[in-house]
Structure 1
């Protein structure tokens, strides 16, 4: 059966805001460039100019437009449910809901503006608009004090779509020697969605190592720079998220399924109880089981939970926050660059493509 995964609530976003700043390459040169460095940034740009390596710097300002597609698996570590102030967590919680799978996908456009503050340090701001979907599968199960299953509902699954907006800041440190380069990147973003009361914080850390290959002897600015990377992504400030939703949106027809399953279980137990060949100990066990089922059924039905607005609190964690990445930067000239990156792990997939435009702002009087 279909459920409108309120676990979409637990999944938002997602945006990959990582920057892939290009190379500050410390190539040896016999020439010495004289004159004043023309642009307002980076700081120490004049020192680089005096050393004859200003042509190795990127233009100081850039704007990027990227497309990002991501898939991620999640673990639900905490779940609480309340109706009109009445706590239902004893009957509906992480253990009894028995989540089988929680995963999400996102597709979004990521806009990033950056500046080289220092020759080796880039800072940036990002904004993203994404559409996503959450897939949830669960099999509600109730057990007695001995750990024996007294009631288990059929497996439920659902796909729910959502929209989100995210914004953040980040920085990249870059080192280069000859045509080799390495970078370390960190960014933090927050996401807004109508499904959650609180914003969701997201941290990305990454490191990259690559090599630059020239593609033209006549044009040294035309090159491709493939790289390998390792990336860590995870939620931050993970105190959980809360919100409100109607139970009928979460579990369509769950009331009928729940009561049919409970009634069928009680009837099946009663047949065994009425069988003359059933032992007294087995009768006592099944009678206690039926009483437990009736108690659960009565409390849940009396609560009105199946048709009411409910408050929830949920906490989730990524199954595997680390991925291995590989990608490239293709610089066409000093103004235009194309980029792409793919990352994969057992529980994540990540794809990004984008276009970057760079420019300089000259000092006054130049």
Structure 2
């Protein structure tokens, strides 16, 4: 397990263990004042397991291949030339990205309006677009071909939640920073996610249910690179790459739509157990499910 992911996992454990000492002090701070004003606060410490699946459009800024390609010069033997002198690669249109994320999150309400959390998990998914392959050393025509990258790795990060409300109406902003260390592809994916929400609490009507609407902003840096032999290129491009011993790829891409709307709900099964579901609409489709345990 990567060292940073292990550190986050330890943070989650410490967050859970801290609940054992809650009797010596009261969390969140100003709990009594908030409850005196009529607010129903959850238990201070939490541990939850979440699953999220999302699909969205991506724009590929550039695709580059590096390495040397052997050319047979007859009596003069073989000569290695840069791969970029043999074939030109260009992205075509927009692509698609799908990801599934399973996470473990530990959190604490430090104040009634401020929650801090750490998160660790796994990511599985792919990024797929179309590239135009143009041979430079022959009269062959350029061809459009699929180009797919498997995005699997370990995710870790931290975030904060700012919350407030008036009577049965509540609002909150969730902001987090995560990094995903990829397994096959070199480098990391860095993500900043900010999600404002506003909703209504139906508890006083006899239903332990909260409903809300909101939006999600994602700022994702994706500079991906790795060995050409690891990404399973097929056809004529695969044959070309198969002759390159030191071939590598470099991809720069970004999300097409940084914002998308959200709708969600939370149902309280018990004072210490909650179920949460949220769906993303618009250009980014997502489904988010959580089981939250409070201590």
TM-score, normalized by length of structure 1? 0.63
Q: How far off its partner does 1:243 sit?
A: 2.2
1:77 equivalent to 2:13? Answer no
In 2 relative to 1, CA 247–333 (structure 1 residues): closer, same or farther, beyond 3 Å? closer
Native 8 Å contact 1:247 1:308 kept in 2: no
Q: 1:317 aligns with which of 241, 254, 259?
A: 254
Native 8 Å contact 2:262 2:278 kept in 1: yes
CA RMSD of aligned residues (A): 2.9
Instruction: Quote the Cα distance in structure 1 between the aligned partners of 2:157 and 2:290.
Output: 18
Instruction: Quote the Cα distance in structure 2 between the aligned partners of 1:190 and 1:102.
Output: 22
**Which has the larger share of strand?**
2
- When Rg is computed on C-alpha atoms for both structures, the one with the higher figure is 1
2:237 aligns to what? 254
Instruction: Quote the Cα distance in structure 1 between the aligned partners of 2:152 and 2:60.
Output: 21
1:355 aligns to what? 291
Native 8 Å contact 1:247 1:305 kept in 2: no
Instruction: Quote the Cα distance in structure 1 between the aligned partners of 2:99 and 2:273.
Output: 27
1:203 aligns to what? 192
Aligned pairs, number: 260
Native 8 Å contact 1:126 1:169 kept in 2: yes
1:45 aligns to what? 31
Instruction: Quote the Cα distance in structure 2 between the aligned partners of 1:86 and 1:174.
Output: 60
1:103 aligns to what? 96
In 2 relative to 1, CA 43–251 (structure 1 residues): closer, same or farther, beyond 3 Å? same
Instruction: Quote the Cα distance in structure 1 between the aligned partners of 2:93 and 2:134.
Output: 11
Q: 2:127 aligns with which of 134, 139, 143?
A: 134
In 2 relative to 1, CA 39–135 (structure 1 residues): closer, same or farther, beyond 3 Å? same
2:170 aligns to what? 181
Q: How far off its partner does 1:88 sit?
A: 4.2
RCO (CA 8 Å, sep 6+): is it higher in 1 or 2? 1
TM-score, normalized by length of structure 2? 0.77
Mind listing any 5+ residue stretches in structure 1 that lack a counterpart?
1-36, 144-149, 257-300, 360-366
In 2 relative to 1, CA 202–87 (structure 1 residues): closer, same or farther, beyond 3 Å? farther
List structure 1 runs of 4+ shifted beyond 4 angstroms. Answer: 84-93, 158-162
1:243 equivalent to 2:229? Answer no
Instruction: Quote the Cα distance in structure 2 between the aligned partners of 1:357 and 1:80.
Output: 47
1:116 equivalent to 2:109? Answer yes
Instruction: Quote the Cα distance in structure 1 between the aligned partners of 2:279 and 2:168.
Output: 22
Mind listing any 5+ residue stretches in structure 2 that lack a counterpart?
1-22, 69-79
